[in-house]
Amino acid sequence: MSERDKQIEKERKGVVELLLKKNGLTRRQLVDDLVGMWAASWAHILTEEEKKQFPHLVF
């Protein structure tokens, strides 16, 4: 990896950390929220039988 690429990666990570801090989030919270949104956007491919496995969720 070139020095320029290393610097870009370092800055990218810095921006992410700063945005997390400014929004009062941890990486774990962000990942959990994004996984939840992803799952909700794909829930339409589940069969009615599969949905019955998750009685506390609204589809």
pLDDT single digits (tens) 4-56: 999 999 999 999 999 999 999 999 999 999 999 999 999 999 999 999 999 99
18 token code pair: 């700063």
Phi and psi angles of residue 51, each rounded to the nearest 5 degrees, phi first = -65, -30
pTM confidence score? 0.71
Neighbours of 46 (CB within 10 A): 14
| Cα 32 to Cα 43: distance, rounded to the nearest angstrom | 16
